[in-house]
Structure 1
């Protein structure tokens, strides 16, 4: 068991939408170098949980702490500034841009041409892209290629690299292996293991129990807006997790 102080704590968090109680008194802890899987059937509350953690929804009650300090977010940008990055299934990449272009999208570095004309510093962007991909042990030959040329696993690497470059401490990964072939799934699992080795915390949302058991340290199961159970991966199995998910 990882005994380090938590990067993230969610304490007794509830989120109501009128009479609908999407989350009720839910708690979650993520420590450095730990992958915590968030599992549950459709409508269990997984999306509401990650949107509350990432600043999309304000909790109805409860609190969120980062490195022991209570925080409140009025926007996802505020969550990102405190080190929480969410990588959604659609990745939100600009297909026509390079790796560097996607990493710096909206935050492009500039240099002066002819002593006064501001232009994009493409060299600095390419250098940062290469270093960031190498940090993830992911090497691409053409840093000048648009990401539309890349496979699903490579595109996941770009999205993860963007979060790593901007110093994310906690990465929320929403179905990162969905719609990928087996070799590409293995690449993504390898990327998540490299994040663990760097001491980052990962919340891993997936319907694929095989992937959950391959990469996670603990699993938190949601059912109808409550925490139905929490287990260390070493102390559970697929059948028990399914029983927790369906209430059997």
Structure 2
């Protein structure tokens, strides 16, 4: 990671001060709904999904975001991935304040530096596994041959070298998840985020997905949001949320 893509910060996590950080949030609150005012004020009747959350994630770290449904995991994941911006507080991705960016700039930052594995896969049913994986490269203007080679390489890496031309309806839940992970890696992201990657998988397949995510954290930052207790066992660090507040980090 170049100096332009990272920053030296003092981490609120206590034992990781002055470390190289991929993404960090400082005293972040996210409110949904209302009339545009702060949560609890006279003119706002929104829902506070996160309150005063601070954390940072470094390269080589596999961070597990855990907590019950509705605890704020997905909201925080979206903020870290620059899919959303906080109501108050700051999220800095590769040294840049995402709130200060236009939506177009955030999209460009995600395309170049962030891989996202959605809970429901979000695979296009009309495309093969290889074509689904290659989609982000189409947006980046990469040539067809290079796209095919990169997508093939990643599908082989996740154990789907024999499923290159299969469409989503021809794949199992675990295979779809692996396709989604391969797509999240196709742009060689600095940050990979995954939302409930084991939620609909059997034990054996879920364990293999977590093992794969742990291996991927060797050269990038990986953040997984899940209520699955196995994430705690696989992650190098855990942050637990309750009602939008960090209760264990």
Shorter chain as normaliser: what TM range?
0.7 to 0.9
Structure-to-structure mapping, 1:104-119, within 5 angstroms: 104-105=134-135, 107-108=137-138
Q: 8 Å contact 1:85–1:172 — kept in the other structure? A: yes
SS at match of 1:104: helix
Q: 8 Å contact 1:55–1:74 — kept in the other structure? A: no
Q: How many residues align?
A: 216
Q: 8 Å contact 1:79–1:85 — kept in the other structure? A: no
SS at match of 1:5: strand
Q: Provide TM-score, normalisation by structure 2.
A: 0.76
Q: Provide TM-score, normalisation by structure 1.
A: 0.77
TM-superposed CA distance for 1:74, in Å, is: 4.1
User: Is residue 218 of structure 1 aligned with residue 241 of structure 2?
Assistant: no
Q: Give the distance between the partners of 1:159 and 1:204, measured in 2 at CA.
A: 14
Q: 8 Å contact 1:58–1:74 — kept in the other structure? A: no
TM-superposed CA distance for 1:54, in Å, is: 2.8
Candidates 81, 88, 92, aligned match of 1:65: 92
SS at match of 1:100: helix
Residue 51 of structure 1 is matched in structure 2 by: 78
Structure-to-structure mapping, 1:1-248, within 5 angstroms: 4-17=19-32, 18=34, 19=39, 20-72=47-99, 73-75=101-103, 77-105=107-135, 107-108=137-138, 121=144, 123-134=145-156, 136-197=157-218, 199-209=219-229, 211-230=230-249
Call closer, same or farther: CA 1:217–1:107 in 2, change over 3 Å: closer
Call closer, same or farther: CA 1:38–1:106 in 2, change over 3 Å: closer
Q: Which has the larger radius of gyration?
A: 1
SS at match of 1:89: coil
Which ranges of structure 2 fall in alignment gaps of 5 or more residues? 1-14, 40-46
Q: 8 Å contact 1:152–1:184 — kept in the other structure? A: no
Q: 8 Å contact 2:82–2:98 — kept in the other structure? A: no
Q: Give the distance between the partners of 2:112 and 2:187, measured in 1 at CA.
A: 10
Q: 8 Å contact 2:22–2:59 — kept in the other structure? A: yes
SS at match of 2:180: helix
